[in-house]
């Protein structure tokens, strides 16, 4: 039974975009002309998260689509994840796969048919990504690819809403996946004119959407076409791939803005409506210390981080980056690393004193948890352990940091109460500020 | 109560000719127009066979598939009798699987400059707006889903009217395929027929001799309209569209499960969308590519959905005549259906005979069959594991 929808809950999102200063060099047009594109320096087909059997048979844009879709789906809480035949996929791709197709065309022209590879038929066309991703992830719902050069991402959203309205699916993964990292596609701009100056030249941004339940914290509302001249400019500067830059803009709006209308190109727009049911400001850490024994307490700190759970988890797992955004941390490094855990050494200030300690950590990428336990605690500390827990809240993440500790004296217990309250608060706020600062998800 | 959706105008450019009447005549003649491709850039091929569109004038600075679309759009708009204001209110859904492949290959080989935008897959949208004043200020969708693209665009146009977001849509699909990279890509994976017969005998849907498809090309345009609005302006519907559905197999980029279960799912969901039981279906318009896998899987799906009746439902397979025009093929077949259904003549499949028929289906063979089915299911499948089905009914 069909039913009209005005609201869609955003229950997860993920972006695979090059870093701000990252470039990929391509040969373009005239012999010897080389360009540095804002793209991945390392071919995304080599990413360890990509199934190895796909590497040699897909284009860069399909690899990026796979990485972003799988990250978005991984961040969907289990209760919200429907059966595979109820999950749809809607991808904007406007430039096809010339990083695969251009060399194959070269082989055909120079060496003939026998030199060409069989995967040209399945790697080049815009719908390649939806096929490879639905196959690799076992998705059976309606999947479509849109190609409007400016409005392709809005068109993908439109078709996703159509599929949800006609009850064909319960969850739609929607986004843009593009790659311009080849010389041939650069001929799409006049040789004597300026090239685009903003946005990434490849990447993928994906959103997991469902019919609104009325309880979600992030919603897209009133997807509409406001008129090709009425919706305002979708992008301020000429950008490499409008679909990708527009999807990135929506990604940023969902992280940072409570209520805003986002132009999606070609006259389309959607309203972002982000609320926090408990009403807490994003930067306020909830702090609670509970006594659990004579000289043992549990400190619990909680904050909503304006970033997708997969990225927040990864930032926290990588202690090598802690000193960049956790104010209390002076230095942190891995001492040992295994797939399931590590030994880390941390130097941090606590109550105006510098302390160094080692913790053994256990990593669970499925449950988004990191358990830690201090190695060889020195009296008056008897033990210090705890857990980082992350869960998706729309496009944001609820982070809970729990410390369990015991001491030999009351004074020492007070010392650790103050230290954990101060440092956990500052560190969580630092994590939140890191994601807030990232205006462009690149 | 959702609006009833009718097709009120059709245009077609196919190997049989540059309008839908020629297209229907070609279908009813039941003879393939396939030929050896003899342009010099095919010289390195041992064999290159296709069903090219002939005699369509080029459109300056536009690729060949847009030139095909141009004629199909003009015909569909004329038949639906839309005035300037009504055209402006019409919303656009366009599709192509491979866009300007012919021109891109030419440019690659020659090193010549391309008009800006040549890599766009939405050029038909631009053209329909600027040349015909269709929906210049309205929303438009450009869809590229391989060989189901035309039917997917039709489904999206249906959704727009069923949801009340539009009262009229123009659905266009176009494909130009006759270039070495396209022929090579499909030849390399064994999708094209390569048996040693004359080109016009190569495509033989559902025949035991089938060994692959023959590339076709062309364009179709369909005006979809809120039936009551069409009747109010004095327009007579050609065909009614009742529902549609699309699923992903999640199985393989080019193969289809031989059980046909994914095609089955698309048909069942389309019937549910149309609020019809399988028993209400009177005929089937197949994807019928003439590949071993497609035709067998499609037959299995028909038997799964329709049970014992599957062997008695007339099955129409249009690719025997026109070859496989990739993304445009299914909308071309909808254009054919919109012509043959009102005529009371079902077109025969080219090249397949009662002796060579391989599957337990009532395939229309040899000559046009006098029949007036009410409800027809159209099926389609494409690379990337896409299966789309639509349910249509003869206009009352």
Q: Which domains does chain A have, with CATH numbers?
A: 7-280 (3.40.47.10), 298-437 (3.30.530.20)
Structure confidence at residue A282 (pLDDT): 42
Q: Which of B151, B159, B163, B185 to mutate to test the interface with A (most CBs of A within 10 A)?
A: B185
- Cβ contact A2–B184 (<8 Å): no
Structure confidence at residue B129 (pLDDT): 97
pLDDT tens sequence across B269-317: 999 999 999 999 999 999 999 999 999 999 999 999 999 999 999 999 9
Structure confidence at residue B89 (pLDDT): 96
Cα separation, A405 vs A300, whole angstroms: 12
Contact A167, A3 (CB under 8 A): yes
Residues from chain A that touch B162, judged by Cβ atoms under 8 A, are 2, 166
Contact A390, A311 (CB under 8 A): no
- Cβ contact B138–A104 (<8 Å): no
Residues from chain B that touch A104, judged by Cβ atoms under 8 A, are 181
Cα separation, B181 vs B51, whole angstroms: 16
The angle formed by the CA atoms of residues B69, B75 and B80, to the nearest 5 degrees, is 125
**Residue B132: in which H helix or E strand, if any?**
helix B123-132
Cα separation, A401 vs A366, whole angstroms: 17
SS3 sequence of B330-374: HHHHHHHHHHHHHHCEECCECCCCCCCECCCCEECECCCEECCCC
The angle formed by the CA atoms of residues A261, A263 and A265, to the nearest 5 degrees, is 165
Cα separation, A332 vs A245, whole angstroms: 35
Interface check for B35 against chain A (CB to CB < 8 A): the answer is no
Structure confidence at residue A279 (pLDDT): 38
Give the distance from residue A360's alpha carbon to the nearest chain B alpha carbon, in angstroms. Answer: 41
Q: Which residue has the higher pLDDT, B113 or A134?
A: A134
- Cβ contact A144–B152 (<8 Å): yes
Interface check for A117 against chain B (CB to CB < 8 A): the answer is yes
Expressed in angstroms, the distance from the first to the final Cα of chain A is: 40
Cα separation, B341 vs B282, whole angstroms: 12
Cα separation, B312 vs B299, whole angstroms: 12
φ, ψ at A86 (rounded to 5°): -115, 10
Beta bridge partners of A7: A221
Would you name the residues of B annotated as active-site residues?
147, 287, 324
By C-alpha distance, which of B103, B92, B127 is closest to B222?
B92
Residues from chain B that touch A241, judged by Cβ atoms under 8 A, are none
Report how many Cβ contacts below 8 Å link chain A to chain B. 200
Return residues 293-352 of A near B (CB < 8 Å): none
The minimal CB distance from B181 to the residues A105, A118, A127 is found for A105
Residues from chain A that touch B114, judged by Cβ atoms under 8 A, are 187-188
Report CA torsion sign: B323, B326, B332, B333: positive
- Cβ contact A120–B119 (<8 Å): no
Structure confidence at residue A280 (pLDDT): 38
Per DSSP, B81 falls in state: T
Sequence-distant (≥ 6) Cβ neighbours of residue B303 within 8 angstroms: B310, B311, B360
- Cβ contact A159–B186 (<8 Å): no
Is the pLDDT reported for residue B377 higher than 50?
yes
Structure confidence at residue A29 (pLDDT): 62
Interface check for A378 against chain B (CB to CB < 8 A): the answer is no
pLDDT tens sequence across B143-168: 999 999 999 999 999 999 999 999 99
pLDDT tens sequence across B170-185: 999 999 999 999 999 9
Interface check for B389 against chain A (CB to CB < 8 A): the answer is no
Most confident of A351-355, A428-432, B111-115, B236-240: B236-240
pLDDT tens sequence across B314-352: 999 999 999 999 999 999 999 999 999 999 999 999 999
Rounded mean pLDDT, B85-109: 96
Residue owning tokens 């300026």: A194
**What pTM does this model have?**
0.83
Tokens of A417: 């109460």
The minimal CB distance from B145 to the residues A101, A140, A144 is found for A144
Interface check for B48 against chain A (CB to CB < 8 A): the answer is no
Mean pLDDT by 10 residues, chain A (442 residues): 91 90 82 83 94 95 96 86 96 96 94 93 97 98 97 98 97 98 83 84 96 85 82 69 94 80 92 63 65 83 85 91 88 90 91 87 91 92 94 82 91 86 86 70 45
Contact B15, B203 (CB under 8 A): no
Please provide the average confidence, as pLDDT, over all residues in chain B.
Answer: 96
Structure confidence at residue A237 (pLDDT): 72
Rounded mean pLDDT, B382-390: 97
Interface check for A139 against chain B (CB to CB < 8 A): the answer is yes
């Amino acid at each position: 039974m069909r039913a009209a929808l005005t609201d869609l809950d955003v229950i997860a999102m993920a972006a695979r975009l090059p870093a701000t200063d990252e470039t990929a060099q391509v040969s373009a047009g005239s012999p010897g002309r080389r360009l540095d594109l804002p793209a991945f320096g390392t071919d995304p087909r080599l990413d360890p998260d990509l199934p190895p059997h796909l590497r040699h048979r897909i284009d860069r844009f399909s690899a990026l689509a796979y990485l972003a879709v799988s990250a978005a789906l991984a961040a969907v809480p289990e209760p919200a994840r429907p059966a595979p035949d109820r999950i749809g996929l809607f991808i904007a791709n406007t430039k096809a796969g010339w990083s695969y197709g251009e060399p194959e065309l070269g082989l055909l022209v120079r060496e003939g048919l026998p030199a060409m590879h069989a995967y040209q038929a399945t790697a080049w066309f815009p719908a390649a990504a939806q096929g490879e991703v639905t196959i690799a992830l076992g998705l059976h719902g309606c999947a479509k690819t849109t190609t409007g050069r400016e409005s392709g991402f809005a068109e993908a959203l439109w078709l996703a809403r159509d599929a949800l309205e006609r009850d064909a699916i319960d969850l739609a993964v929607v986004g843009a996946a593009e790659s311009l990292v080849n010389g041939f596609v650069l001929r799409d701009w006049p040789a004597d004119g300026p090239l685009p100056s903003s946005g990434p030249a490849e990447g993928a941004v994906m959103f997991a959407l469902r019919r609104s339940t009325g309880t979600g914290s992030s919603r897209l509302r009133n997807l509409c076409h406001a008129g090709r001249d009425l919706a305002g400019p979708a992008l301020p500067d000429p950008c490499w791939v409008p679909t990708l830059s527009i999807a990135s803009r929506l990604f940023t709006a969902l992280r940072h803005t409570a209520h805003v209308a986002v132009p999606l190109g070609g006259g389309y727009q959607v309203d972002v409506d982000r609320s926090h049911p408990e009403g807490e400001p994003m930067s306020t850490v909830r702090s609670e210390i509970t006594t659990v024994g004579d000289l043992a307490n549990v400190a619990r700190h909680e904050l909503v981080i304006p970033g997708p759970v997969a990225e927040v988890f990864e930032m926290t797992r990588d202690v090598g980056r802690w000193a960049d955004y956790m104010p209390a941390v002076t230095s942190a490094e891995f001492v040992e690393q295994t797939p399931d855990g590590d030994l880390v050494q941390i130097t941090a200030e606590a109550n105006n004193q510098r302390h160094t300690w080692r913790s053994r950590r256990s990593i669970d990428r499925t449950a988004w948890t990191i358990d830690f336990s201090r190695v060889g605690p020195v009296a008056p500390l008897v033990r210090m352990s705890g857990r980082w827990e992350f869960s998706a809240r729309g496009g944001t993440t609820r982070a809970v940091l729990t410390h369990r500790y015991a001491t030999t004296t009351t004074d020492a217990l007070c010392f650790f109460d103050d230290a954990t309250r101060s440092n956990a608060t500052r560190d969580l706020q630092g994590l939140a500020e890191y994601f807030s600062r990232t205006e462009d998800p690149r | 109560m959702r609006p009833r959706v009718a097709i009120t105008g059709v245009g077609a450019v196919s190997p049989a000719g540059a309008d839908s009447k020629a297209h229907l005549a070609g279908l009813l003649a039941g003879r393939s127009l396939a030929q050896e491709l003899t342009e010099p850039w095919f010289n390195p091929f041992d064999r290159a066979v296709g069903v090219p569109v002939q005699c369509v004038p080029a459109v300056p600075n536009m690729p060949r598939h847009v030139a095909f679309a141009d004629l199909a759009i003009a015909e569909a708009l004329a038949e639906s009798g839309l005035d300037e204001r009504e055209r402006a209110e019409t919303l656009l859904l366009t599709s192509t699987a491979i866009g300007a492949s012919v021109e891109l290959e030419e440019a690659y080989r020659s090193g010549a400059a391309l008009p800006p935008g040549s890599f766009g897959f939405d050029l038909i949208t631009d053209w329909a707006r600027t040349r015909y004043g269709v929906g210049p200020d309205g929303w438009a969708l450009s869809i590229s889903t391989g060989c189901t693209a035309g039917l997917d665009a039709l489904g999206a146009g249906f959704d727009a009217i069923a949801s009340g977001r539009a009262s009229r849509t123009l659905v266009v699909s176009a494909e130009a395929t006759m270039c070495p990279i396209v022929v090579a890509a499909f030849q390399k994976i064994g999708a094209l027929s390569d048996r040693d017969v004359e080109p016009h005998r190569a495509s033989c849907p559902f025949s035991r001799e089938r060994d692959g498809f023959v590339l076709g090309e062309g364009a179709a345009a369909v005006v979809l309209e809120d039936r009551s609005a069409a009747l109010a302006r004095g327009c007579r519907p050609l065909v009614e569209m009742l529902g549609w559905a699309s699923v992903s197999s999640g199985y393989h980029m080019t193969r289809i499960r031989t059980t046909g279960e994914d095609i089955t799912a698309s048909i069942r969901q389309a019937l549910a969308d149309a609020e019809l039981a399988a028993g209400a279906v009177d005929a089937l318009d197949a994807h019928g590519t003439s590949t071993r896998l497609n035709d067998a899987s499609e037959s299995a799906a028909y038997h799964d959905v329709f049970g014992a009746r599957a062997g008695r439902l007339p099955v129409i397979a249009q690719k025997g005549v026109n070859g496989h025009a990739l993304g445009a093929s299914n909308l071309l077949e909808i254009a054919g259906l919109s012509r043959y259904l009102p005529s009371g003549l079902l077109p025969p499949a080219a090249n397949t005979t009662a002796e060579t028929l391989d599957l337990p289906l009532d395939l229309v063979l040899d000559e046009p069959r006098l029949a007036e089915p009410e409800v027809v299911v159209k099926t389609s499948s494409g690379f990337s594991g896409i299966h789309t089905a639509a349910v249509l009914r003869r206009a009352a």
